[in-house]
Structure 1
Amino acid sequence: MTNNVIVLDTSVVIDGWVSHQVESGDYRGFRIVVPNVVLAEIEHMANQKRDVGKLGLNELERLRSLADNGIIVLEFTGERPSIAQVHDADRGELDALVRDTASKLGATLVTSDSVQAAAGRIMGLEVTVIAKKRPDSIVTLEEFFDERTMSVHLVENNPPRAKRGEPGDWELVDLSDHVLAFEELDQLANTILERARQDRASFIEIEEFGATVVQLRNYRIAIARPPFSDKMEISAIRPITKLDIDYYGLSPKLMNRLESRAEGILISGSPGSGKSTFAAALAEFYSKKGNVVKTLEQPRDLQVTDDIVQYAPLDRSMEKTADILLLVRPDYVVYDELRKNSDFQVYSDLRSAGVGMVGVVHAGSAIDAIQRLILGGRVELGQLPSTVDTVLHIEAGRVAKVAALSLKVKLPTGMSSSQRDLARPVIEVRDFERGVLEYEIFTFGGEKVVVPVHGETRPVMGERRETFERGTPGESVPISVSYSHKKVTVYAGKKYVKMRLDIFANDQYLLTTVTGRNGEASIRIKTRQGSALVDALEENATLTAKVAQSGDID
């Protein structure tokens, strides 16, 4: 070791191994030099809320403590880099300055970066590469997985656990009795990050203070540390199956729609239901049909063929990525997944530009997925059918429900035909396979309402209109309640036209109201009754109704 003087680069400071080497006796009494360019780069990373910045600062604090105790001599030397040099760190600008410092001091360059080590040797420097080590109790991430493991969950002060099985049919099992310590998880996390940086097929998707998401080949890994989480956790998810569209046994009618008509598709389902697996199969189906297919993902974990290019946010913005995609002119884009308002906006914008869209969304049912799309005006009601025409709901790895959307100008189901002036644009949501109308979405009283129709179909022209029976006193009445800034609307349906209804909140009597000719009652929001209804709605109370004892007002 030259002159017992070593110069540290950024990589070895972040890895935290120098302090361990000192504590083990390797560098006791050494003069340890940290160039100011290294301190500036680590400081910049910490200011950017990146975990590696915090790790680097922690290591420098440990080295300072060792120096204060007289175990080493710690020096900071050289000028701070310019802002431009810090931003160009990935181009080797700062690494070159570190090598210059080692050369001027005649010191040994200590690094854990293989590229930095090679460049130092080329310059004639003495170089020490600190190899990665890990405690004997830690295994590699892959050793936690077998062929039936969907995900692994490693939590500080807990034994390792895994979900084993398949979508919709899995169990959470303990992998051993060993309780994981913070140090074990910390070293495993650092190893994962280093592997991701060195492997061209892997990448770090998100790096924030306390939270990191890594795509390590086909493993999606989320790393959480305090203060983001109360304890350290590493969760790794791996797809256990890669399927094609034939596996799902879709009907010829649905296959024809997917191939020739469906261009705005939502794939819905709960976490772990197999949404992404189906999305990947659908992407490959479109690609095999001669279409240019791209994906928008964060993280990029869809298992697709090499002809499908997977895109991530550009400068943390999917909007910027979408701008680039329009120049690429794809036929279909798979967006995995729609979470925030900006995601739904990008999906809608690309669909409006004529791109076939497939969006993946967390939802408990097909209608819940549609409601997420219209929530808060993410998509205007009139644009809904042109933005999304088909919703495929996945349960236990299978297509459990298909909903088709269309726009009609009509009188909403349940309204009296004598009130033709109430006709309006209505979104019909039908069970695709059976053609049965299940929901209607329209604007009423300034509010968007989603009304279940429960299998009603349009009457055939010339068919004699069915006569509906009237409600009887004491009969329970299914109601829907909505409100705007002016009024509260209670909708009971045509069976209860011109009847007195008693309204209850959590089985407690609230008020009595009278329905009109269309089976609705409107109550001014500023009245005592209107305020009581609004309060009940905002408290998530269960609202029910019964026909009053003197129910009929005719």
Structure 2
Amino acid sequence: MIPEVGVADLSSIKSGFVRDVVARGNSIKKIVISEVVYNNIRKASERGENVGLEELNRLKNVSEEKGIVIEVRKQDGVSDPDEAVLRLALENGFYLITSKESFAKLAESLGVRVVKDSRVNLKPLLFTRYFYNDVMSVHLKEGVVPKVKVGRPGSWRLEGIGSEPIDKGDLEKIVEEIFQRVEAGEGFFEIKRESSTIIMLNDYRIVITFPPLSDKLELTITKKVAEPEIEDYDLDQELIRRFSERAEGILIAGAPGMGKTTFAQALAKYYLRENKIIKTIESPRDLHLPPSVTHYSKSKSSSEELHDILLLSRPDYTFFDEMRDTEDFKLFTDLRLAGIGMVGVIHATTPIDAIQRFIGRVELGIIPSIIDTVVFINRGRVETVYTLETCVKVPHGLTEADLSRPVVLIKNFMTGNVEFEIYVFGERTFVVPIKESSKKVSRVNLMINNILDKYIPDSEARIQSHGGTVTISMPSNQMAYVMKKCRKKFERIEKQFRVNIVLKPLETEA
């Protein structure tokens, strides 16, 4: 039996639940709305968010048809809508009408009688209508025609849905429904900020951005579309054996959308079958793994907390999804040097770029102790595998014996050939491809090094040669000075050796 007087919270108004309660024509005689809730809806409408206001108008129309009274009640000393509603219900003995499962449980624990929305989990989510066939992700933006990515990681196409742009009201309804489902316990907020929210809801990862962060309301909804096993990648048995017996510092690299996380998921399940203890560090937590795997959120903890937990729990392998800033690399390094097997997922356009992300963050000589295997994923498949080791030798292309120094050798796992050498000369770090004309590359690099020494002797600049291009990475605040002093000298080198010299900011601590 529906009570005679009910106080409606914000969720029940925006979802239309209180309107449905009135429309059913039960014994309810009055709906009380807190002035705090009413003001919240009014301020939202002034920002262009009209879902609440539209539902209030619909509630008014239905109430007039049914002869139901709606009262807006003034409240002093309270500003939170949920607190205001709870006070009204407690102090007056009203029933609480809500669409939020968690709020309903809280109210019931305080002795408040509750009418809660039982429809929430029964109807399909509004955005699921866009997920047809092989849709990987849905991209919704206010005033823009909805778009979807169709296909699989590394091989997809972008399609528009219809010809009508989606309006703000429809988007707000989708957002409100998503929030309701999370409140009902179907998912969780991975990150919740004033202008952005990341949500994990069932099999969906949802990114929502609001103005002023984005120019308009926008949703990106991604669904897992494949769960391949490691066997589906048709890997060489030697590589499988390396994963089982030797690889303990693994980088999985690739461009966005190429299938890095999908491969990491397959590798994690392989290790589980090998009776390994697996834990993950993620933000957001979207690796789909068996319940035995514990997922730690990077956004809900500090690096120090994760460091302590993982050192004491001693997993066989920790999967670090989406390594971005220096704190991530430091945590990966500390755990790996402590003896924990680490698998890191990192954005990179080439496999050598992934290794270079560590240069400048850790000592060059210990990189092979941190990373022993680099797996590069392109279009959903394993394209390149590198292994790393250190030796003391004369860098390739140099001739004098007294130039011997520690050199990191980067080998192609399948051929065994050294494809890159990384070494320090003076204060510069050189990344030299062995396939190039080595004498020419070495001479160009040394000439550039000598020029830089005259102007920025204490710089942490790195010099990399690849495909006729010499890239000099240095702190951004020195680039203008170097260009002013060295431009003509660089131009002479470019003309003499037919190379292209490029300056770019050095990736420093983030």
In which range does the TM-score fall when normalised by the shorter chain?
0.7 to 0.9
Structure 1 residues 385-424: aligned runs within 5 Å: 385-417=368-400, 420-424=401-405
Structure 1 residues 536 and 277: alpha-carbon distance in aligned structure 2, compared to 1, 3 A threshold: farther
Partner of 2:241: 256
Normalised TM-score (structure 2): 0.76
Q: What SS class does the counterpart of residue 337 from structure 1 fall into?
A: coil
1:328 equivalent in alignment to 2:313 = yes
**Deviation of the 1:452 alpha carbon:** 1.5
Deviation, structure 1 residue 146: 2.3
1:546 counterpart (460, 484, 496):
496
Q: Is the 8 A contact 1:436 1:455 kept in 2?
A: no
Partner of 1:197: 183
Alignment gaps of 5+ in structure 2 = 57-69, 471-477, 499-510
Distance in 2 separating the partners of 1:430 and 1:546: 31
Matched residues in 2 for 1:477 and 1:536: separation? Answer: 17
Give the TM-score, by structure 1 length.
0.70
What residue number does 1:460 align with? none
1:175 and 2:158 aligned: no
1:144 to 126, 130, 139: 130
8 Å contact 1:479–1:491 — kept in the other structure? no
- Alignment gaps of 5+ in structure 1: 43-50, 64-70, 87-93, 458-467, 494-503, 506-524, 549-554
Give the Cα separation in 2 of the matches to 1:226 and 1:193.
18
Mapped partners of 2:436, 2:418: distance in 1: 5
Alignment of 1:33-182 (within 5 A): 33=34, 73-77=72-76, 99=86, 101-117=88-104, 127-129=114-116, 140-182=126-168
Change (3 A) 1:152 1:492: closer
For residue 246 of structure 1, what is the aligned residue in structure 2? 231
**Does residue 303 of structure 1 match 2:268?**
no
**Pairs aligned (count):** 461
| SS class of match (1:187) | helix
Distance 1:114 1:331, change over 3 A: closer
Structure 1 residues 10 and 409: alpha-carbon distance in aligned structure 2, compared to 1, 3 A threshold: farther
Deviation at residue 331 of structure 1 after TM alignment? 0.4
In the alignment, is the contact (CA less than 8 A) between 1:244 and 1:281 conserved in 2? yes
Is 1:425 aligned to residue 411 of structure 2? no
- Tell me the secondary structure at the aligned position of residue 315 of structure 2: coil
Q: Determine the C-alpha separation between the residues in 2 that align with 1:491 and 1:116.
A: 58
Q: Please say if 1:479 is aligned against 2:460.
A: no
Alpha carbons of 1:360 and 1:542: their partners in 2 closer, same or farther (altered >3 Å)? farther
- Residues 383 and 107 of structure 1: CA distance in aligned 2, closer, same or farther (over 3 Å): same
How far apart in 1 are the matches of 2:497 and 2:315? 57
Distance 1:98 1:535 in 2: 73
2:486 matched to 1:533? Answer: yes
Question: Using the alignment, how far apart are the partners of 1:452 and 1:121 within structure 2?
Answer: 68
**What is the Cα deviation at residue 249 of structure 1?**
1.3
Whichever residue aligns with residue 206 of structure 2, its letter is I
Question: Secondary structure of 1:409's match?
Answer: strand
Deviations 1:357-397 (A, max 9, x none): 110001011101011122xx222212100010110101111
**Larger Rg belongs to:** 1
- Partners of 1:220 and 1:380 lie apart in 2 by 37
Go from structure 1 to structure 2 and tell me whether the alpha carbon gap of 1:175 and 1:545 turns closer, same or farther (over 3 Å shift): same
Q: Deviations over 1:491-518 (max 9, x none)?
A: 999xxxxxxxxxx99xxxxxxxxxxxxx
The aligned amino acid for 1:451 is: V
Query: What is the 5 A alignment of 1:311-350?
Result: 311-313=296-298, 315-350=300-335
Q: Letter of the aligned partner of 2:153 in structure 1?
A: P
Does residue 226 (structure 1) correspond to residue 228 (structure 2)? The answer is no
Q: Distance in 1 between matches of 2:367 and 2:464?
A: 26
Distance 1:203-1:542 versus aligned 2 partners, 3 A rule: farther
SS at match of 1:255: helix
Would the aligned equivalents of 1:438 and 1:455 in 2 still touch at CA under 8 Å? no
Identity over the aligned pairs, expressed in percent?
34
Structure 1 residue 114, shift from structure 2 partner:
3.5
Classify 1:126/1:296 alpha carbon distance in 2 versus 1 (closer, same or farther; 3 Å). Answer: closer
Deviations 1:140-181 (A, max 9, x none): 222211231111111111121111112222110112223200
Deviation at 1:281, TM superposition (A): 0.7
Q: Is the 8 A contact 1:155 1:231 kept in 2?
A: yes
